[in-house]
Amino acid sequence: MLAELRVQNFVLIEHLSLSLGPGLNVLSGETGAGKSIVLDALNLLMGSRGSTDLVRKGASEALVEGLFWVEEEPWVADVLTGLGLEPTPELWIRRMVPRAGRGRAYLNGGPIPLATLRTLARALADVSSQNEHQVLLNPDTHLDMLDGFAGHSSLLDAMRDAAGALAQAFEALARLEAQLKDRAEREEFLRFQLAELERVAPREGEDEALELERKRLVHAEKLHEHARAIEEGLYAGRGAVVDVVSDAVARLKEMARIDPEFEAQVAILEGVLYSVEDVARLAGAYARDIRFDSERLDEVTARIADLNRLKRKYRVGLEGLLRKREALRVELEAFEDVEAHRERALQQIQQRWKDAAHAAGVLSASRRDAARKLEKAVETELQSLGMPRARFGVRIEERADLGGGPTAESAPGRGGNDRVAFYFSANVGEAPRPLARVASGGELSRVSLALKRVLAGVGDVGTFLFDEVDAGIGGAVAEVVGRKLRDIARHRQLICITHLAQVAAFADRHFAVRKRVAGGRTSSVVVSLDTEERVEEIARMMGGIELTERTLAHARELMDRCAAYSGRA
Measure Cα distances from 37 to 9, 222, 499 in Å: 11, 100, 15
392 in Cβ contact with 375 (< 8 Å): yes
Q: Residue 131 above 70 pLDDT?
A: no
The answer to whether residues 8 and 71 belong to one domain is: yes
Rounded to an integer, the average pLDDT of 505-517 is: 91
The answer to whether residues 188 and 115 belong to one domain is: no
Closest Cα partner for 251 from 239, 262, 237, 240?
262
Q: Is residue 275 part of a domain?
A: yes
The answer to whether residues 97 and 30 belong to one domain is: yes
- pLDDT number for residue 140: 81
Q: Is residue 437 part of a domain?
A: no
What would the pLDDT profile of 552-569 be if each residue is shown by its tens digit? 999 999 999 998 887 754
- pLDDT number for residue 544: 63
The answer to whether residues 110 and 239 belong to one domain is: no
The answer to whether residues 185 and 251 belong to one domain is: yes
Which of 360, 393, 423 terminates a domain? The answer is 360
Q: What is the mean pLDDT of the chain?
A: 86
Question: Alpha-carbon torsion 152, 154, 159, 164, what sign?
Answer: positive
The answer to whether residues 318 and 192 belong to one domain is: yes
CATH number of the CATH domain containing 24: 3.40.50.300
The answer to whether residues 117 and 158 belong to one domain is: no
Q: Residue 130 above 60 pLDDT?
A: no
The answer to whether residues 335 and 235 belong to one domain is: yes
Q: What percent of the chain has pLDDT over 70?
A: 94
Q: Is residue 451 part of a domain?
A: no
Per-residue confidence band for 175, with pLDDT thresholds at 50, 70 and 90: confident
Q: Is residue 26 part of a domain?
A: yes
What would the pLDDT profile of 373-402 be if each residue is shown by its tens digit? 999 999 998 888 878 889 999 999 988 888
- The total of structural domains in the chain comes to 2
- pLDDT number for residue 29: 87
**Separation between Cα atoms, residue 531 and residue 408, nearest integer Å:** 63
- pLDDT number for residue 569: 46
What would the pLDDT profile of 387-440 be if each residue is shown by its tens digit? 888 999 999 998 888 877 788 888 888 899 999 999 999 888 788 888 877 666
**Separation between Cα atoms, residue 439 and residue 433, nearest integer Å:** 9
Three-state DSSP class for residue 315: coil
Closest Cα partner for 411 from 174, 82, 118?
174
Rounded to an integer, the average pLDDT of 327-352 is: 83
| 169-178, 412-421, 466-475: range with lowest mean pLDDT | 466-475
Q: Is residue 398 part of a domain?
A: no
What would the pLDDT profile of 304-325 be if each residue is shown by its tens digit? 888 889 888 888 888 888 998 9
**Separation between Cα atoms, residue 149 and residue 453, nearest integer Å:** 11
Measure Cα distances from 508 to 96, 495, 551 in Å: 30, 10, 22
Q: Is residue 285 part of a domain?
A: yes
Per-residue confidence band for 205, with pLDDT thresholds at 50, 70 and 90: confident
Which of 360, 385, 402 terminates a domain? The answer is 360
- pLDDT number for residue 506: 93
- pLDDT number for residue 343: 85
Which of 336, 360, 384 terminates a domain? The answer is 360
- pLDDT number for residue 421: 93
Per-residue confidence band for 77, with pLDDT thresholds at 50, 70 and 90: confident
Rounded to an integer, the average pLDDT of 262-285 is: 86
Beta strand 110-111 with 493-497 is unpaired
Closest Cα partner for 27 from 14, 10, 40?
40
The answer to whether residues 104 and 213 belong to one domain is: no
Q: Is residue 161 part of a domain?
A: yes
**Separation between Cα atoms, residue 96 and residue 117, nearest integer Å:** 13
What would the pLDDT profile of 2-11 be if each residue is shown by its tens digit? 999 999 999 9
The answer to whether residues 178 and 327 belong to one domain is: yes
532 in Cβ contact with 522 (< 8 Å): no
Q: Could you tell me the maximum CA-CA distance found in the chain, to the nearest angstrom?
A: 147
The answer to whether residues 86 and 49 belong to one domain is: yes
Q: Which domain holds residue 317?
A: 153-360
461 in Cβ contact with 123 (< 8 Å): yes
Rounded to an integer, the average pLDDT of 249-257 is: 88
Q: Is residue 442 part of a domain?
A: no
The answer to whether residues 213 and 317 belong to one domain is: yes
